[in-house]
Structure 1
Amino acid sequence: MDEKAVVKDLKIKTKSIKKLLSVPDDFDLALLSHYHSTGNVIYSDAVGLLDKYAHLTKKVTVDDLYTQAQLSLTRSNVIPFPSPEPGTETFTFIDLFAGIGGFRMALQDLGGKCVFTSEWDKYSKQTYFANYGDYPFGDITSDEVKAHIPAEFDILCGGFPCQPFSLAGVSKKNSLGRLHGFDDEKQGNLFFHIEDILRTHRPKVFFLENVKNLVSHDKGNTFKVIRQTLLDLDYSFDPKVIDGAAFVPQHRERTFMIGFDKRVFGNDIKFSFDSVIYPDKKQAVRSIIQSEVEPKYTLTDHLWKYLKDYAQKHKEKGNGFGYGLVNLDGVTRTISARYHKDGAEILIPQDGKNPRRLTPHEAAALQGYPIWPINTKSKTRSLRIPVSDTQAYRQFGNSVVMPLIKAVGEQVVNLLQLQK
């Protein structure tokens, strides 16, 4: 029986819906939004959300519930980056460790339909929901969450958490006497949940991203374990470190890992990063700079003095630590999740004033997201930022370079289509 047909026979008062969904349960909202966007039977538990209200008087469907949730949480039922129209998608994918959807935006632009998404951070979930219309499921280590991954999909993608392998993360953990890499029980073992999903569902392709330091962490042993684990699953394994500066005005090196199912594509399958198409011309920082910026983004005299004194102290010790005052005709340093604290790694010079931080919209554009009017002419297809500046900086600092994901993804999809 068609679950959606069942829903149309149930009766609910609109006021009751609004009360229910003004502060929705995360898991229920994930079910509701995924069922709304895919219609997949694996999410049909969403129908049960209406059962307790069946005795009331007004007819409401799952679609009505979903719309009310959108209005309650985002104050809009217009999605800037919707999934392809049903039946028009050319492949399907799941979006793990989704953040704010850099993989999702890139692969949707290539004709893909996202059939499952997972992200643990509540603020990133809000940004994701506001832009794509799906509210991510939470902890991917949970059996309940994994049970809602559709049986079949073409690509598993995601930038799995990088702190255990990042240079900054390793340094911090060493200083605190904490474990890192695969010994970090909370984060390091998340890779093995990717392994579990690959083993269970056997998508045709995996497309992963991590920090540059993943390759050298623990004298290369961490990367050897990842490589051998994926090869043992009978997938190919092709990695490369790529700098996002070819696509955005930011120096951002990341490790990419692509693998194809050898049981489908044969033992000789190989992904060539040489096939990735790069832009003809690099961007300069000034291309993402807004002409009018609120005074709150300018550093206070106290903070600016602190950063200058800090840089001078380390210069005298022969260290390279310090703030990064940007050359507007060049590229920036790598933006990090701690950018909200002082903006030190990327400071924009101002005539007759202290330098300033990037605005959240500039930070989004620095990662290649479409932001009107900075880098897109479309007001309707401009990334929404529904969270505070602090959370926005964290999200963009943790994000992927979206146009780079799209460029690599285009060649992944081309090779995938050859098999179909």
Structure 2
Amino acid sequence: MIDIPKSKTNSLSKYKFIDLFAGIGGFHYALSSFGATCVFSSEWDKYATETYKINFKIEPKGDITQINEIDIPNHDILCGGFPCQAFSISGKRKGFEDTRGTLFFDIARIANYHHPKVLFLENVKNLVKHDDGKTLATIVKTLENLNYSVFTKVFNASHFGLPQNRERIYIVAFNNSKINSKNFKFPTPTNERVCLEHILEEEPKNAKIILRDDIEIYKTYKIENSLFGELELLNKPIQIGKVNKGGQGERIYHSLGHAITLSAHGGGVGSKTGLYLINGKIRKLSPRECARVQGFPDDFILNDADGQSYKQFGNSVSINVLQNIILEIEKILKENE
């Protein structure tokens, strides 16, 4: 999480938002840190719902495809990290109809009914090239047909003060009938120098230590202070070894670099977090360390099951990136008040 200026902590207190595909509430945390109020959330994973409820005192509704838009409260901001799906008839320029059968359709139908001022969405970087770019083009065209001005940008969490290499596309759309967004621009990366060592627990009890005979630490790697004189040599993962053949989940990284992208389903001995040389031991990150590399504060309550926590943070959004984008959205909203 970022250090939000005191003048901004209640700057969105007049605004209501809904949290779709809510997961454990990354969007909720980011928007509420500016004073915005959540009036509805939806998530179909029961374990993520448990984590969301215990942290935000709101129980998300279930499958959004089964919820009528009429039953959703009025809101100013619609946010969500929707799954990326192929559009079976993408490219035929039918706009709204092109998205039927996908989860993006539910965003479109809700926006078509409620006309919120802002849509704030996140997805995997691959959405840019998905189906030769037709998927993203259909999304943008659909929102434009609903009278929104659409802005898209790929950001890496590594460039916003989080020690994790995580590239995602962010979509911000403003309702043209309510908002003049001609001055909107995405934030400039903050590029703080940060590394895994800054967020590690001293003695995590639930970070699996790897004891194997096939661990190889490269003899050629050098980790010296001089190596980190240049920013680009700091804010990225630094591979220093491998387990077995060095496939997915079998690469070892130094704690003076960044984590690899957290994953909900990654395999290998370092599944979901990757492997790291920390205090002379090869281990995975702990669930709390995963929370920290995603920007969640230490008072965020983790799921009781470590396996669920790993999955949830692998699926989550990066708080710092959201908050920096919200600062720019807030400027436009204030201009239009």
Range of TM-score over shorter length = 0.7 to 0.9
Gaps of 5+ in 2: 1-9, 90-99, 217-241
Query: What is the CA distance between 1:308 and its match in structure 2?
Result: 2.2
Larger Rg: 1
Q: 1:159 pairs with 67, 81, 92, which one? A: 81
1:326 counterpart SS class: strand
Query: What is the CA distance between 1:386 and its match in structure 2?
Result: 2.8
Q: Is 1:326 equivalent to 2:253 in the alignment?
A: yes
Q: Is 1:103 equivalent to 2:27 in the alignment?
A: yes
Q: Deviations over 1:196-229 (max 9, x none)?
A: 0000000001011001010111111111111110
**Residues 202 and 399 (structure 1), Cα distance of their counterparts in 2 relative to 1, 3 Å cut:** same
The structure, 1 or 2, with the larger RCO (C-alpha pairs under 8 Å, 6+ apart) is 2
Query: What is the CA distance between 1:188 and its match in structure 2?
Result: 6.6
For residue 359 of structure 1, what is the aligned residue in structure 2? 286
Q: Distance in 2 between the 1:302 and 1:125 partners?
A: 40
Q: 1:148 pairs with 65, 71, 85, which one? A: 71
For residue 289 of structure 1, what is the aligned residue in structure 2? 200
Greater fraction of residues in helix: 1
Paired positions, count: 291
Q: Is 1:215 equivalent to 2:134 in the alignment?
A: no
Contact 1:208 1:256 in 2 (8 A): yes
Contact 2:207 2:286 in 1 (8 A): no
Q: Deviations over 1:58-101 (max 9, x none)?
A: xxxxxxxxxxxxxxxxxxxxxxxxxxxx9x92211111000011
Query: What is the CA distance between 1:303 and its match in structure 2?
Result: 8.9
**Residues 256 and 188 (structure 1), Cα distance of their counterparts in 2 relative to 1, 3 Å cut:** farther
Q: Which amino acid aligns with 1:292?
A: E
Aligned-residue RMSD, C-alpha: 2.6
For residue 204 of structure 1, what is the aligned residue in structure 2? 117
2:333 counterpart SS class: helix
Q: Distance in 1 between the 2:176 and 2:206 partners?
A: 56
Q: Deviations over 1:287-344 (max 9, x none)?
A: 1111112276112437969x72232xx6xxxxxx562322211112111102586324
- Which residues of 2 match residues 298-317 of structure 1 at below 5 A? 298-301=209-212, 308-311=243-246
Q: Which amino acid aligns with 1:285?
A: L
1:297 counterpart SS class: coil
For residue 223 of structure 2, what is the aligned residue in structure 1? none
Identity of aligned residues (%): 39
Q: Is 1:249 equivalent to 2:163 in the alignment?
A: yes
Q: Which amino acid aligns with 1:157?
A: C
Q: Is 1:407 equivalent to 2:334 in the alignment?
A: no
2:253 counterpart SS class: coil
- Which residues of 2 match residues 224-235 of structure 1 at below 5 A? 224-235=137-148
Contact 2:249 2:275 in 1 (8 A): no
Q: Deviations over 1:243-297 (max 9, x none)?
A: 110220011110011111111125x635311xx2543622111111111122761
1:310 counterpart SS class: coil
2:65 counterpart SS class: coil
**Residues 296 and 243 (structure 1), Cα distance of their counterparts in 2 relative to 1, 3 Å cut:** closer
Q: Which amino acid aligns with 1:383?
A: F
Q: Which amino acid aligns with 1:262?
A: N
2:79 counterpart SS class: strand
Q: Distance in 2 between the 1:395 and 1:323 partners?
A: 21
Q: Distance in 1 between the 2:204 and 2:245 partners?
A: 26
Q: 1:127 pairs with 43, 51, 73, which one? A: 51
For residue 62 of structure 1, what is the aligned residue in structure 2? none
TM-score scaled by structure 1? 0.64
Q: Which amino acid aligns with 1:250?
A: Q
**Residues 289 and 241 (structure 1), Cα distance of their counterparts in 2 relative to 1, 3 Å cut:** same
Contact 1:350 1:356 in 2 (8 A): yes
Q: Which moved further from structure 2: 285-294 or 206-215?
A: 285-294
Query: What is the CA distance between 1:104 and its match in structure 2?
Result: 0.5
Contact 2:22 2:81 in 1 (8 A): yes
1:221 counterpart SS class: helix
Contact 2:55 2:300 in 1 (8 A): yes
Greater fraction of residues in strand: 2
Contact 1:262 1:269 in 2 (8 A): no
Q: Which amino acid aligns with 1:310?
A: K
TM-score scaled by structure 2? 0.80
Q: Deviations over 1:103-127 (max 9, x none)?
A: 1001001110011101110000000
Contact 1:339 1:393 in 2 (8 A): no
Query: What is the CA distance between 1:395 and its match in structure 2?
Result: 0.2
Q: Deviations over 1:141-172 (max 9, x none)?
A: 0135x44311x21110111013x4xxxxxxxx
1:334 counterpart SS class: coil
Q: Deviations over 1:367-412 (max 9, x none)?
A: 01011xxxxxxxxxx1001330110000000000011101101211
Q: Which moved further from structure 2: 89-98 or 343-352?
A: 343-352
Contact 1:340 1:393 in 2 (8 A): no
Q: Is 1:391 equivalent to 2:308 in the alignment?
A: yes
Gaps of 5+ in 1: 1-85, 165-180, 315-320, 372-381
Q: 2:277 pairs with 349, 374, 394, which one? A: 349
**Residues 340 and 389 (structure 1), Cα distance of their counterparts in 2 relative to 1, 3 Å cut:** farther
Q: 2:87 pairs with 182, 189, 192, which one? A: 182
Contact 1:126 1:387 in 2 (8 A): no
**Residues 304 and 98 (structure 1), Cα distance of their counterparts in 2 relative to 1, 3 Å cut:** farther
Q: Distance in 2 between the 1:409 and 1:295 partners?
A: 34
1:200 counterpart SS class: helix
